[in-house]
Chains A and B, each alone.
Chain A
């Protein structure tokens, strides 16, 4: 780790406001966070919100696994079990992965493109402060009379319309709020990236993390309104006499699945493209080589995003589609394996013959490449229409999407936090705790989710509180793994708090192989950074890339 860049910040000294205005007493503190328009503050708020939600939804997962430890109705009422699976899914997707990536975007985009803040700082404040209200609405359903939403995170009609409990309306409004928040956040990201880049940073000189967020923001902008439309149709079906999904009135419940998955498939790329971006920053740093095939990485992200709009019906092969449609959705889905394969290939090539070191972020990144690929392969298996008839609604599907989301999105978030935490706090995390966190997580998540492949192939259906005796052994293993995984995440929390309080001071560059603009700032990054944009010099690392 070098200190060569800490001196580059002379310009910051010219400004005489160094930190946030904390005001007086508790009210001053509250006001600072409620009214802040600073991208770093808002990034921090997003990340802590996501952290709290992670432990709430994680607790739900452990309740689910406890119930499934043994066959028979042991612990939870089946209806409550269904509420747990529903809320676990909804909160993990909308409350953990999405806000956490928005938090990374808020912190990193201005730092990495040399901008003083986001383009629309007040809108940014609003995007965040909508979230707590949405989650209070959603989680309050557990404490109100009557069941919470209990129809799975995909809230298929008519389960969620004709048969949905009254609390469904709370969920609908929560999703409206989350949609508004995401759309405003996406607008902000796009406006920032298009207008606020430092002079000399062309689009093809942007770090891949920035590219991945630019594309993700366009996805959000296109699909969140469709989801809002779907829940609005649900709302009017439930209360205002329309029959979008009600067969008695001439509607069709299968239509719901089409609208939902038109949102749902691009949504899975909202959850994973920023993860690709994080990997494309971290792997070159710890390989001490520029990213292999930068332009291929960018075009792979763009083509994945475009393809994601024409594959949605692979979630519903069994609803009774014409063969031609099934074939179309099967082939387009498989086509996505090509750009994804390019990404994996390029990460591996970046590591090839690199001077590798395995600090905690790199450990998580390498595990990401390996384990996410397993999730990708099971996705390919599910894409094969005739095979999907066997796998549909079994634990094989559960295994698949947990492999892409846990060692995929969640590991990428952890990677990003370990990688940039020294920049945010000015202190190094504990490498020892980080390694414990990594090894326990990596091993236990495989113990948790790998057996689910076998359960699914053997025919265990998903979303059931009880199961046939022959599934017991693998369920016992999965539950044990889940508890180890869940409690290992407390090490992460402890490590973050320890870093903030007691970590050793970090240098500006932090990592020996780190080259982006953010590493030219001191650590911690000053409250106001890049007020005078940096000049992108011709020897910017992107341009050192060998021409292949």
Chain B
């Protein structure tokens, strides 16, 4: 084969391969983003990151499992030294699976200005997360308080009867985040995710 045709053939295949490799790079950039929904789907499926999910559960009317008692502890935290008072009225309750329970958290804005906050729940042990069903929760919405204003923030929940036998104690913690001034583009549990 003469050198020039060979060179031309070579140049063509280099161009072709370069295009394919650039495509791989772009696809891998997309793959990085695809890890986000993938992560959330896997966490949901296995209930492994302690998220309780934002959706409202139906409150149950019947079938309370009187044979088991589970201690649910309530914890509160303020993110980044948020100047709010925020604590649960009761530190813990002993309840049966299937039993509807109402508790409340106290919140007071001591920041000197009106603030909007978002409470983010987390459950330990994480495998209990998907069995903790919330019918009503202050964490479903952002909460706005003027300076010095106080509020009782309600939480209505029950524990699913299917919860594994070895779970005897659940800790439900809420962390209060300052979201003043950020726009609410989507429900909090959806933001930062690509699809769903």
Contact = CB atoms under 8 A, between A and B. Distances in A.
B126 interface: yes
B36 interface: yes
Contacts of B22: 187
Contact of B24 (A196, A222, A262): A222
Nearest to B119: A248
B143 to A, nearest CB: 12
Contacts of B27: 225
Contact of A229 (B29, B118, B182): B29
Given A225-B25, A225-B26, A246-B192, A320 B48 contact: yes
B36 A244 contact: yes
Contacts of B39: 252, 255, 258
B182 A241 contact: yes
Given A225-B25, A251-B192, A254-B49, A259 B14 contact: no
B55 interface: no
A102 to B, nearest CB: 16
Contact of A191 (B18, B33, B49, B182): B18
Interface string B39-62: 110010010111100100000000
Interface in A229-286: 229-230, 233, 237, 241-252, 254-255, 258-259, 262
B120 A255 contact: no
A322 interface: yes
A217 to B, nearest CB: 9
Interface in B115-162: 118, 120, 126-127
B98 to A, nearest CB: 26
Contact of A244 (B49, B79, B192): B192
Interface in A79-108: none
B138 to A, nearest CB: 14
Candidate in A226, A244, A249 with the most chain B CB atoms within 10 angstroms: A249
A221 interface: yes
A243 B191 contact: yes
A248 B188 contact: yes
Nearest to B120: A247
Nearest to A249: B191
B6 to A, nearest CB: 9
Nearest to B186: A250
A381 B51 CA distance: 32
B167 interface: no
A225 B191 contact: no
Contacts of A187: 18, 21-22, 25
Nearest to A321: B48
A228 interface: yes
Nearest to B193: A250
Nearest to A227: B32
B194 to A, nearest CB: 10
Contacts of B118: 248-249
Contacts of A7: none
Contacts of B28: 221-226
A228 B17 contact: no
A457 interface: no
B35 interface: yes
A33 to B, nearest CB: 25
A250 B192 contact: yes
B82 to A, nearest CB: 10
Interface in A492-535: none
Nearest to B19: A187
Contact of A120 (B14, B25, B40, B178): B14
Q: Which 7 A-B pairs have the closest CB atoms?
A: A229-B32, A248-B177, A251-B192, A243-B192, A225-B29, A225-B28, A226-B32
Given A190-B21, A244-B192, 11 more contacts: A191-B14, A221-B21, A221-B25, A225-B32, A229-B31, A229-B32, A241-B183, A250-B120, A250-B192, A320-B48, A322-B46
Interface of B: 10, 13-14, 17-18, 21-22, 24-33, 35-36, 39-40, 43, 46, 48-51, 54, 79-80, 118, 120, 126-127, 175, 177-179, 182-183, 185, 187-193
